[in-house]
Amino acid sequence: MAKVVLKVSNLTKRFKDRIAVNNVSFEIHEGEIFGFLGPNGAGKSTTMKMISGISTPTKGSITVCGYDMRTEKEKCLRCLGAMIENPLMYSYMSAYDNLKYFASLYGDVDKNKILYYAKVVGLENRLKDPISKYSLGMRQRLGIAQTLLHSPKLLILDEPLSGLDPAGVKEMREFIISLARKYHIAVMVSSHMLAEMEHFCDTIAIINNGELLEVNEIEKLQQGIEGAKKIRFKVDYPNYAGIIVKNSLKLPVEIVGNSILVQCSEKKISKITSLLVGRKISILGIEVVTASLEEIFMDIVTRKTHGKLEIK
């Protein structure tokens, strides 16, 4: 089992009479990409601010690389890098000067180190440009380079995909994956866009109304949903094929375009195939379809909050 980099226990934040984060506990390991999902106002940024030492918890504890945030804050901050909301940068200055400035805050202006992290984020050829000439995606990358300057073991990224175009989202996702896989950094990424997090996070935590509803590996979340798995058969006569499968095998079937979607496990594929072929239906393709994160999210929220998706 990989080393625990972050341990959060019973974390709570109260603003006057509003509980923004309520008794949240979880762990993040070395090299893990931990997706922190929830609708607007769920408590994502509040949780991340406490973990980053920006705000003080009302209750609960935070341990980063074994250090306690209450008593060893300085050491915790040495182990983590955080980009919460918009990264701070000076747009009239060049990217290099920005990085130099942030490195100086840690008292460690090593030119090679700055160039190294500029390379990690893929900005090594644009270091002389002023930030005002940077695209949003490039600014996000520079923001991450700033947080990497002191070689943290844990990276906290609040909504790093927001505002990026589809190509930018893909690039940022691949970049985060490389930080985790190549540099073994634990990355906690928040988003309210479920689809963006699919096929990219190792673990998904779902927060709603300040409460952590679920923490699990994405495959396990999919398995937990009843009827999550469907097999898609692309056929020449979908309506006819649908009736045959429904009547002969008593399985739930949907007709979508030129395909039938049968709710069953892979074990039934050969049975369905021979049934259809026996009725002279041509099968043009077969695909296993698992529940999307969107469906998983709605399923968990409905089961655990009795359908109340509270957005404050």
Ligand X SMILES: Nc1ncnc2c1ncn2[C@@H]1O[C@H](COP(=O)(O)OP(=O)(O)OP(=O)(O)O)[C@@H](O)[C@H]1O
Residues binding Mg ion (CB under 5 A): 44-45
Q: Rounded to whole angstroms, how far apart are CA atoms 292 and 290?
A: 6
Q: Which residue is nearest to Mg ion (CB)?
A: 45
Nearer to ligand X, 159 or 202 (CB): 159
Closest distance between Mg ion and the C-beta of residue 57, in Å? 17
Closest distance between ligand X and the C-beta of residue 87, in Å? 15
Nearer to ligand X, 3 or 308 (CB): 308
Which residue type, as a one-letter code, is found at position 294? E
Q: Rounded to whole angstroms, how far apart are CA atoms 119 and 239?
A: 55
* Residue 232 contacts which entry, Mg ion, ligand X, none (Cβ below 5-8 A, type-dependent): none
Sheet holding 80-83, edge to edge: 80-83, 154-158, 186-191, 33-37, 203-208, 211-217
Closest distance between ligand X and the C-beta of residue 59, in Å? 15
Binding site for ligand X (CB under 6 A): 15, 18, 20, 38, 40-46, 192, 312
Listed residue (128, 143, 33, 16) closest to 89, CA to CA = 143
* Residue 176 contacts which entry, ligand X, Mg ion, none (Cβ below 5-8 A, type-dependent): none
- Report DSSP letters for 66-90, one per residue: TEETTT-HHHHHHHEEEE-SSPP--
* Residue 208 contacts which entry, Mg ion, ligand X, none (Cβ below 5-8 A, type-dependent): none
Closest distance between ligand X and the C-beta of residue 4, in Å? 24
Nearer to ligand X, 15 or 106 (CB): 15
59-64/67-68 β-pairing: antiparallel
Nearer to ligand X, 51 or 245 (CB): 51
* Residue 122 contacts which entry, ligand X, Mg ion, none (Cβ below 5-8 A, type-dependent): none
Alpha-helical regions (H) of the chain:
44-51, 73-79, 95-105, 111-120, 136-148, 166-183, 194-197, 218-224, 238-249, 269-278, 293-305
Q: Which residue has the tokens 């866009």?
A: 193
Q: Rounded to whole angstroms, how far apart are CA atoms 249 and 67?
A: 58
Closest distance between Mg ion and the C-beta of residue 43, in Å? 9
Nearer to ligand X, 42 or 142 (CB): 42
Q: Provide the angle, in degrees to the nearest 10, between the axes of the packed helices 136-148 and 95-105.
A: 30
* Residue 192 contacts which entry, Mg ion, ligand X, none (Cβ below 5-8 A, type-dependent): ligand X
Nearer to Mg ion, 53 or 224 (CB): 53
Closest distance between ligand X and the C-beta of residue 312, in Å? 4
